[in-house]
């Protein structure tokens, strides 16, 4: 993917940006493939890129998902973090696919299945939000 846009910080001239963002694909647990971005700055495989003057992953942007800075776009991501935490998963939705989460010891299978299903709906929504963002960029 190629990103072309202009960005202006307060009181300065707009700056033109034009740079490529790699997209890679990995197989899904139940078939099919899912896309990932490569962060243009550190080359990490991520599903979210955040916009400052340039787009980058949350590590590069020094974002904290659990902080109050969460924008509207991050809400599905926040809910996903909370659910993952309740499933004993410390990794974020875009670092570690939900299908790899193991059932915590002592959690009923039904509870686990229900939370996983809920998680996959929320993460689908998070992906849709990113897709909408991409559409705007396009």
Residues that bind Zn ion (CB under 5 A): 39, 41-42, 44, 56-57, 60
Which CB sits closer to Zn ion, 63 or 122? 63
| Least distance between Zn ion and beta carbon 15 (Å) | 20
For 54, the token pair is 């340039």
For 95, the token pair is 């670092």
Which CB sits closer to Zn ion, 47 or 56? 56
| Least distance between Zn ion and beta carbon 43 (Å) | 7
Helices (H) and strands (E) in the chain, counts: 3, 7
Which CB sits closer to Zn ion, 44 or 118? 44
3-state secondary structure of 80: helix
Residue in the structure block whose two tokens are 């897709």? 131
Number of Cβ atoms within 10 Å of the Cβ of 134: 14
Which CB sits closer to Zn ion, 29 or 59? 59
| Least distance between Zn ion and beta carbon 42 (Å) | 3
Closest CA to 74 of 119, 37, 120, 127: 127
| Least distance between Zn ion and beta carbon 20 (Å) | 15
Degrees (nearest 5) of the Cα angle 87, 35, 97?
15
């Amino acid at each position: 993917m190629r990103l072309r846009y202009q960005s202006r910080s307060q009181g300065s001239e707009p700056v033109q940006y034009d740079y490529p963002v790699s997209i890679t694909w990995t197989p899904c647990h139940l078939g099919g493939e899912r896309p990932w971005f490569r962060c243009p700055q550190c080359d990490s495989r991520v599903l979210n890129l955040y916009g400052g003057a340039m787009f980058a992953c949350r590590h590069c942007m020094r974002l904290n998902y659990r902080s109050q800075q969460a924008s509207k776009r991050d809400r599905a991501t926040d809910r996903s973090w909370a659910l993952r935490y309740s499933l004993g998963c410390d990794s974020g939705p875009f670092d570690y696919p939900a299908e790899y989460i193991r059932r915590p010891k002592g959690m009923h299978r039904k509870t686990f299945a229900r939370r996983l299903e809920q998680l996959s709906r929320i993460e689908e929504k998070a992906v849709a939000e990113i897709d909408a963002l991409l559409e705007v960029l396009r």
